Amino acid sequence: MGSMTSLKRVLLLTNSEHGQANVYLATSYALATLDDEDVEVHFASFSPIEKFVTATSQHAKRNKSRARPIVFHVINGVDMMSAWSRPEIMEEQRNLANKSIIALLDAIRRTMVLLKVTLPWTGAEFVQILWSVVEIVHHVQPDIIAVDPAFSPALTALRHINAKFVILSPNTIKDFAMPLQPNGEALWKYPCVGTSYAYPVPWRHIPMNILLVLLTIICGYYDSNRRSIQRYVAEHADGAQLTTLNDLSLNPNLNIKFLVANRPEVELPLRVIPDHIIPCGPMIRPAQSLKEADPSLSEWLARGPTLYINLGTHMRFREAFATEMATAIRIIMDHSRAVLWRDKKLANLQVLWKLSRQGDYEVETPGSAVYKILGRDIDKDIVRIVDWIEAEPTAVLDTKTVVCVVHHGGANSFLETVCAGIPQVVLPVWMDTYDFARRAEILDIGRWGNRTTQDKLCRGGELGSVLIDVMLGGRSSVYTRKARELAEICNRSGGGREVAARRILAEIDLLDCGNIDEEKKPLNGWGSMG
C-alpha cells in the first residue's frame, strides 16, 4: 500500500434511474474506499436515489473506517423517470415493445419514442436542471467531474461553463465505438438497434439493416423535440448549446474520455477501440449479503440449485406471459427429474421468480392459469413467485446456489450475471436488450430465449427447450465454464468500479480542471425552482 495522497474532490453527476446510477453508486464506493487515496466524493442527482447513496456511504464506512461520507446534492427539477413516465410516452413504449422484426414505419416510430425517452423534458424543465447543476458545480469546486452520458442537462451545463469532465457510462464499448469502425461497418455488419438480426448481419438482411440505420440517423437529425428544447435552452440559458450523448460520441476530437462498464472480452468483435474510450469492466455496486438482508430467503436458496428469473423493475407482464413462463418452468422442472437417474446436478432444483404483474390476476390461487401449471411445486415451496425481493440482485447471485439466470437483457442484469459467473438466458424486450442476447450466445455463456417469438415476450415451449440446453444439455458444462472464466477476468484489479475510480483520479493530473467559467451562473433563481 502506497502512502496517502493529498485530498481529491470528485463530483459525480447522474440521473437517478438505477440503469444509469448503479455504476455511479459502485464507483462512489470504490472512490471512498481506496486504501491509498483520500477522496471526498460528491454525488449529485435527483431525490429518488438519495437513500441508496446514503446506504453506499454507510457501507463504505464499514469497510474503511476513515472513509469520508459521500456528500449528496439534490438536483432541482423533474427526474428522468418521472419525465418519461408521462402517459403519452408510456403508451407509445407499450405499443412498440416486444416486436423483434420491425417494418419501416415501426422503425421510425420506435426511433422517435427512443428520442423522447432519452430527452423527455420540456424546455423549461431542462433549463431548471441545467442551472441546478451549474449551482452545484460552483458550490463543490471539484477537481474532476464524472457525468452520465444520458444526462443531457448536465452535459449541456458542463460544456456551457467550460468545466472539465469525463464520461462514466454503463454503456458498452460498441455503443460508442461502432460509428468509428472502418469500411462503414456500422451500416452493414452490426444489427440496427431494436432488431433481432444475427451478428454479423446476414447478407439477406444487409439492405434492410442499412436502411434502418440511415432512418435512425435521419430521425435524430429532424427530431422536433430536440429542436424545440435547443431553442428554449438558447433563449433561456445564456445561449447554452444543447449537448447530448450523440454530440460527444460522434466527435472524438473533443478530447473527452469515455469510461465504460465493459471489457473487450465481454463485447462483440470490434476492429477499432478509439483511444478516448476506456474499457474499465463491469462496475458492480456492493450490496449487503443476502443472509443479512433477507435471512429467510437466504435459508431457502441454500436448499439446492436455483433457477432465478428476474425481468427487471419497470416491465410489467400480463397473465398470458406469466402462463408461458410457467410452462417453461414446468418443462425444465420435469426434465430435471426425468434425468436424475443419469444426471443429479439439478437434484432438488427450485425456482425463484420475480414477477411484476400488469393487471389483476392470481398465480398461487387454485384455479388460476399459473397455478394449474405449477401448483404442486408452489404448494411444496419449490417454486416461489414474488413481486419484490428486498435484497439486491447481486446478493442473490452471490449465494452460489443460483445455476441459471433468466433476465430481460438490461446492461446491469447482464453484467451482474457475468461477474457472478452464472450462465444466463436473455429475453430481450426492445432496443439495446437484443444486443445482450447476442452477446450471451457469442460469448458462449448462455442463450437467447425468445429468438423466434414475434407476438409475445416468450413462448413456453421455446424457452423451456433453451433452459434444458443451458442447464442440462450437452453444452451446459461449456456455458458454465465460460461464464466462470469471464467472471474471473471481469473481477480482476478490484473489478470495474475500482478501475474506473482510479482512472477518474488519474484524469485530475491530465486535465486542467480550474477553468470553470465563473461568469456563467444561474440567473433568476432557475437552479432553485421547485
State whether 146 and 130 are in the same domain. Answer: yes
The answer to whether residue 1 is domain-embedded is: no
The per-residue pLDDT of the chain, averaged, comes to: 90
State whether 132 and 267 are in the same domain. Answer: yes
State whether 508 and 441 are in the same domain. Answer: no
DSSP 238-269: TTPPP--HHHHHT-GGG---EEES--GGGS--
CA distance 527 to 524: 9
Residue 112 C-beta-side C-alpha neighbours within 13 Å = 15
The answer to whether residue 226 is domain-embedded is: yes
Give the pLDDT score at 353: 98
- The cell for 111 is 426511433
The answer to whether residue 129 is domain-embedded is: yes
Give the pLDDT score at 103: 58
Q: Quick one: pLDDT band at residue 99, thresholds 50, 70, 90?
A: very low
Q: Give the chain's domain count.
A: 2
For residue 463, CA distances in Å to 103, 164, 183, 477 come to 25, 48, 37, 19
pLDDT in tens, 493-529: 999 999 999 999 999 988 655 556 666 766 544 544 3
**CA angle at 54 for the pair 53 and 59, rounded to the nearest 5°:** 95
State whether 457 and 507 are in the same domain. Answer: no
**Inter-axis angle of helices 460-471 and 319-338, to 10 degrees?**
40
State whether 257 and 376 are in the same domain. Answer: no
pLDDT in tens, 31-64: 999 999 999 999 999 999 999 999 999 999 998 8
Give the pLDDT score at 432: 83
State whether 357 and 232 are in the same domain. Answer: no
Burial 371-392 (b: 16+ CB within 10 A, else e): bebbbebbeeebbbbeeebebb
Do 158 and 191 contact (CB within 8 A), yes or no? no
Which residue, chain included where needed, has cell 461520507? Answer: 69
Structural domain span for residue 169: 8-80+119-184+222-284+493-528
Assess whether pLDDT exceeds 60 at residue 147.
yes
CATH number at residue 356: 3.40.50.2000
Give the pLDDT score at 91: 54
pLDDT in tens, 397-453: 999 999 999 999 999 999 999 999 999 999 998 778 899 999 999 999 999 999 988
State whether 312 and 343 are in the same domain. Answer: yes
Q: Quick one: pLDDT band at residue 334, thresholds 50, 70, 90?
A: very high
Highest-pLDDT range among 25-34, 97-106, 428-437: 25-34
**Inter-axis angle of helices 369-379 and 319-338, to 10 degrees?**
40
State whether 342 and 276 are in the same domain. Answer: no
The answer to whether residue 295 is domain-embedded is: yes
Assess whether pLDDT exceeds 80 at residue 21.
yes
State whether 441 and 479 are in the same domain. Answer: yes
State whether 272 and 312 are in the same domain. Answer: no
pLDDT in tens, 350-384: 999 999 998 999 999 999 999 999 999 999 999 99
The answer to whether residue 20 is domain-embedded is: yes
The answer to whether residue 34 is domain-embedded is: yes
Q: Quick one: pLDDT band at residue 258, thresholds 50, 70, 90?
A: very high
Helices then strands, counting H and E runs in the chain, come out as 22, 13
Task: Please give the model's pTM, rounded to 2 decimal places.
Answer: 0.90
